[in-house]
Amino acid sequence: MILDVLSAAEGMALSAPQLARSGEMMGFTPGSMRVATSRLASEALIESPRRGEWKLAKTGTWIEEQTRWTRLQDLVQPWQQDWWVVMTQLVPRASRPKWRKHENALWHRGFVEAQRDYFIRPANLALNFEQLLGELRALGMAEASLVFRATEVSDSPDLALWDTTNRKALYHALCMEIESLADSDKQGRDSDACRHFLRVGRKAIWALNTDPLLPESWGTNADRDRLVALMPGFITQGRKLWLEQLDLA
């Protein structure tokens, strides 16, 4: 939540009382906000330009991933019918937290497990081998993974593995909710409206940032593109409400 609010501030530093106020609006105590702020600072996700003020750090994996949805079209290239493959038979599954981190790294780049320890995605990402490998490792892929590119595979994955039906339904629902929030006079301009904007915006950005970026020829991206088109105006409207509540507008 702190990262979301600081992101809404667009580079402005927020004071500790302003962060506490934003936390109160979302149901968090001042104490929990202080603890979270300290943790984020120790992880170099936020920085303090002046005593008692905080802003997002300028670089880092979180920043890159958070803004990924704004450049989706630049992240892909025409698909040449080849595949990225990750084999994980050398990665132990005994530690569930480590395996989840590893699996989430692959999932965040659109890989699905077609068979046990066999993860695959179409090689339409605008990345060379070293770039893809670096991103997967930065996201938490286990070092023992084997990554390669294949021109042909004996087990071509079923489109259903990407759960495109449910993702399409999610995008449609988010578009409907964003459009219903467009009338700020109807929704009001109080803390309830702020909470609503933040929760919907967070869910929409998460959905877009985890989109598998499947080839256009597969015909699965229309609802995603509609949501992307709605987001700039929605974010501007929500940011204005939050800045008003924090006496920054």
pLDDT per residue as tens digits for the range 35-59: 999 999 998 889 999 999 999 887 6
Written as six digits, the tokens of 8 are 């809404």
The residue type at 170: L
Cross-strand pairs, 83: 122, 150
Task: Quote the pTM value.
Answer: 0.86
Q: Give yes or no for a contact between 72 and 228, defined as CB atoms under 8 angstroms apart.
A: yes
The 10s digit of each residue's pLDDT in 159-199 is 999 999 999 999 999 999 999 987 755 555 677 888 889 99
Query: What's the pLDDT tens digit per position in 120-167?
Result: 999 999 999 999 999 999 999 999 999 999 999 998 899 999 999 999
Q: d(Cα 98, Cα 104) in Å, to the nearest integer?
A: 10
- List, as one string, the DSSP characters of 90-128: TS--SSHHHHHHHHHHHHTTT-EEEETTEEEEES-BS--
Ordered strands of the 83-87 beta sheet: 112-115, 118-122, 83-87, 146-150
Q: What is the pLDDT of residue 154?
A: 93
Two structure tokens written together for 130: 């070293």
- Beta strands 118-122 and 83-87 are antiparallel
pLDDT of residue 33: 93
pLDDT-above-90 percentage for the chain? 71
| pLDDT for res 186 | 53
Task: Determine the residue type at 210.
Answer: T
Mean pLDDT of 193-220: 93
DSSP calls for 17-85: HHHHHHHHHTT--HHHHHHHHHHHHHTTSEE-SSTTEEEE-SSSHHHHHHTGGGGGGGGB----S-EEE
Confidence of residue 241 (pLDDT cuts 50, 70, 90): confident
Q: Report which of residues 83 and 1 the model is more confident about.
A: 83
- Quote the pLDDT of residue 240: 87
In sequence order, the β-bridge partners of residue 94 are none
